[in-house]
Amino acid sequence: MNDTEVTDEFETDFANLARLAAAGSIEDVRLYLAKLVRKYRSSRPSFSGKLDQLLKTSQTRASGPSVMRRAPSTAEAAPLLPQDQDSRQSLVRVFDDRDGLAAPILPASLARQIEDVVSERKERAKLVAHGIRPTRSAILVGPPGVGKTLSARYIATQINKPLWVLDLTTVMSSLLGKTGNNLRLVFEAAKQSEAVLLLDEVDAIAKRRSDDSDVGELKRLVTAILQEVDNWPDTGLLLAATNHPELIDPALWRRFDAILRFEVSDRDAVALAICRFLDRDVEQFEPWINLMASSLMGQSLSDVERSILGIRRNALIHQIAPARLAIDLAVRHAGAMDKNARRDLAISLAKEGAMSHNQISELTGVARDTLRKYAGPSPLKGRGHKKE
């Protein structure tokens, strides 16, 4: 287990403990502390010993008069996260963004679909009163880095719920029968808590049953998932995400109430993302945002963010001018663009007047006549010297 995984595990344990404490569930807190003592006895004996001492102290204090101590009701006690029965590791990762999360940058039509899902969850009682079932499940389809997980987190935030993400590394056991048990534990716990459950990389556990390379146990696992989706209650929201829709069993597609298709962002969405990622530096780069958007069009937003953060670092540490950074970005990405993208980039470069038409044509392969048609005469001559 690497440092990041260890940190995530500690954070999950602490979040569970804090949730129980906040709910006033004294007995559940003690039980959970006892589990942590056993869990860390081998790997972190000092830490386990400290928890054990706290537990014994708590039990001693609790042995006094308890007439005035109020026992929490079942509704007040926060549910424990589902755990693998052998390793005691959590089967889900939790994102709780209820303090606020910016809306993901998405095409307008997809953003409307997501808002429709949110509205239905908020108005569930009204729909049910009229005999209409709200959207219970949706599958998010698209390439990596286009905002599927962020959108799931946003949906959960908007309906004031935490997001539980199925942790495949823990759920998928070498003992295939145990994998099915782990999945059932996750579904049952999510139903009880009314959390939003995300089956990320669902294609890994719901492959086509016609795939002869899979053993019978994995095919039975798909059947179990189909049953769980069928039995998912109106009170919860089940999401799934995949980069490989072609691998998913067709029967699962029919179970989802909505299909949300994510595409690589267009130029306007990339420009909006660049403004967000530039943060406090947006003003000094403002004249070059359109050029950078043309250069990065077709990239995933995660790749866009990586490029913009690199530019900000160079601007701050090496004091490179924004214009130079924007042009360098265009040069780096021109070779990987298709014909239409190179044309858009060439016209953007010509309109900015950052390079001569000769230079732009050499870089992008776009004819100078095309540049003059859409951007007017070149303000630069030869190798880039401004006309006097």
Q: Which residue type occupies 193?
A: S
CA distances from 21 to 65, 77, 83, 110, 249 (A): 20, 9, 19, 39, 42
pLDDT at 267: 84
The two structure tokens encoding residue 78: 């926060």
The two structure tokens encoding residue 135: 């959207």
Give CA 196 to chain center in angstroms: 13
Q: Which of 227, 250, 237 is nearest to 198 (CA)?
A: 237
The two structure tokens encoding residue 139: 């599958």
E strand intervals along the chain: 92-95, 137-141, 163-166, 196-199, 237-242, 258-261, 380-381, 385-386
The topology under which CATH files domain 92-261 is: Rossmann fold (3.40.50)
Alpha carbon distance 89, 81 (integer Å) = 10
- pLDDT tens for the chain, 388 residues: list them: 566 666 667 777 777 777 666 655 566 676 677 777 777 777 777 777 777 777 666 544 344 443 333 333 333 345 578 887 777 888 899 999 988 888 898 888 999 999 999 999 999 989 988 889 999 999 999 998 889 999 999 999 999 999 999 887 777 765 556 778 888 889 999 988 888 999 998 888 877 766 555 556 677 778 888 989 998 988 899 999 999 999 888 889 889 999 999 988 888 889 999 999 999 999 999 988 988 998 898 888 889 999 999 999 999 999 998 988 988 888 888 877 778 778 888 888 888 776 788 888 888 888 888 888 888 887 765 544 343 3
Alpha carbon distance 336, 305 (integer Å) = 18
Q: Is 243 left (phi over 0), alpha (psi -120 to 50) or beta?
A: alpha
Q: DSSP string of 190-252?
A: HHHHT-EEEETTGGGTSB-TT-TTS-HHHHHHHHHHHHHHHT--TTSEEEEEES-GGGB-HHH
35: exposed, middle or buried (C-beta count within 10 Å: 0-12, 13-18, 19+)? middle
Alpha carbon distance 357, 349 (integer Å) = 9
pLDDT at 344: 81
CA distances from 222 to 12, 229, 248 (A): 28, 11, 10
Query: Rounded to 5, what percent of the chain is helix, strand, coil?
Result: 55, 10, 35
Q: Which residue type occupies 212?
A: D
* Max Cα-Cα span within the chain: 93
Alpha carbon distance 363, 334 (integer Å) = 7
Evaluate whether 273 touches 304 at the Cβ level (below 8 Å): yes
Q: Which residues pair with 240 in a beta bridge?
A: 139, 199
The two structure tokens encoding residue 356: 């001569």
Alpha carbon distance 301, 110 (integer Å) = 15
Q: What is the DSSP letter of 95?
A: E
Give domain limits for the chain: 3-59, 92-261, 267-386
